[in-house]
Amino acid sequence: AMPVNAAGKKDSKKEDKTETVYVNANADGSVDKITVSDWLKNHSSSDTLEDFSNLENIKNVKGDETFSENNGKLVWQGDKKDICYQGTTTKKIPVGMKVTYELDGKKVSADDLEGKSGHLKIHYEYQNTSADSGKYTPFLMATGMILPVDKFDNID
């Protein structure tokens, strides 16, 4: 979405931003680490790009451009390019996740799975906790898992 100025007109001097949040979760679905990736699109080929962020450990992940920061306001030396940066946060995310396990049809905890064999079902349940006055913000969720081939086989 193109930002608008106070008069409601498109502001071609502004950039827009795409944000992706990556959550590394523990076996029960609780949060382990949150990494946020931001892409500032430099549509007007500006020399500098302004953004606001409360992320920690901010680093440019697609270039050498640097930034200055003052009370959460970032000013990137954009060099007429887009800026892609990442940072971390400890703020609560607006989506909860619960993971449950069944081994051979019986509910088990993640801790009980070590060294076991059998038919395993893993169920992910998400809860949107973003309600503000009864209205929820929509989110797209994707779950990925790395299963080492020396320990897992016959996976559907």
What's the CA gap between 7 and 39, in Å, rounded?
26
- Burial of residue 59 (number of CB atoms within 10 Å: 0-12, 13-18, 19+): exposed
Average pLDDT of the chain, as a whole number: 87
Condensed to tens digits (0 to 9), the pLDDT of residues 95-105 reads 999 999 999 99
Q: What is the mean pLDDT of residues 121-138?
A: 89
User: From CA 10, how far away is CA 60, in angstroms rounded?
Assistant: 28
Q: What is the pLDDT of residues 23-40, one digit of tens each?
A: 999 998 899 999 999 999
pLDDT in tens, 48-104: 999 999 999 999 999 999 999 999 999 999 889 999 999 999 999 899 999 999 999
pLDDT of 15 above 60: no
Higher pLDDT, 13 or 116: 116
Single pTM value for the model: 0.77
- Percent composition of the chain: helix, strand, coil (DSSP 3-state, to 5): 5, 45, 50
The pLDDT value given to residue 36: 96
pLDDT at 10: 42
In Å, how far from its chain's centre is CA 19? 7
Return d(Cα 139, Cα 122) in angstroms, integer.
22
- What is each CA distance from 49 to 26, 71, 112, in whole angstroms? 36, 16, 50
Give the whole-number percent of the chain exceeding pLDDT 70: 90
